[in-house]
Amino acid sequence: MKSEPDECSIDDLAAAPGRQLPWTGVRNYQARNFMRDQMRIGDGVLFYHSSCPEPGIAGLAEVASTAYPDATQFDPQSPYHDPKSDPQAPRWLHVDVRFVRKTPLLRLSDMRQDPQLAGMRLLQPGSRLSITPVSADEWRHLMQRLS
């Protein structure tokens, strides 16, 4: 899961009440569908800092809820407001994530040089989704690199 650190960093998650936050603001159907259809409570999350001088994996989190409506879609003051979303049939969902631990930064440039991560969806040309699945083999390999 990607987040811009000036909006929500791994440190922000660690400092949040209960060390847990809703993953709000996702406005891409494919990313929404990953949360809705594939994420389960307890699933591991790679907390990735994006759009910053050193993008990369900055920590680990876990999914802490099933998907539920993202309230920011109904808030006219929110940058994530969606006036076309109907409260009776919400368009946008999110999950809560819980802090697990901060890790040494695993930079994007280092991940790109790792042959065992060559097929990782995050590293594919044109990949801009904020949420992408990680295979079991990729997860195991990354856990070795992050420990």
Asked if residue 126 has pLDDT above 90, the reply is: no
Asked if residue 127 has pLDDT above 90, the reply is: no
Euclidean distance between CA atoms 110 and 129, whole angstroms = 20
CA dihedral 124, 130, 135, 137 (to 10 degrees): 80
Q: What is the pTM of this model?
A: 0.94
Task: Supply 83's token pair.
Answer: 């006036």
| CA distances from residue 106 to 1, 45, 46, 85 in whole angstroms, order as listed | 14, 14, 11, 37
**Phi, psi for residue 9 in degrees, rounded to 5:** -100, 170
Structure confidence at residue 119 (pLDDT): 95
Asked if residue 11 has pLDDT above 90, the reply is: yes
Q: Which residues pair with 3 in a beta bridge?
A: 49
| Per-residue model confidence as pLDDT tens digits over 12-32 | 999 999 999 999 999 999 999
Asked if residue 75 has pLDDT above 90, the reply is: yes
In the numeric block, the tokens 């594919």 are attached to 124
| Per-residue model confidence as pLDDT tens digits over 42-72 | 999 999 999 999 999 999 999 999 999 999 9
**Single-letter code of the amino acid located at 139:** W
Q: Is 141 helix (H, G, I), strand (E, B) or coil?
A: helix
**Phi, psi for residue 143 in degrees, rounded to 5:** -65, -35
Q: Which residues pair with 93 in a beta bridge?
A: 69
Q: Is 76 helix (H, G, I), strand (E, B) or coil?
A: coil
Euclidean distance between CA atoms 33 and 138, whole angstroms = 21
Q: Report domain 2-146's class.
A: alpha beta
Whole-number percent of the chain with pLDDT over 70: 100
The residue extents of the domains of the chain are: 2-146
Asked if residue 128 has pLDDT above 90, the reply is: no
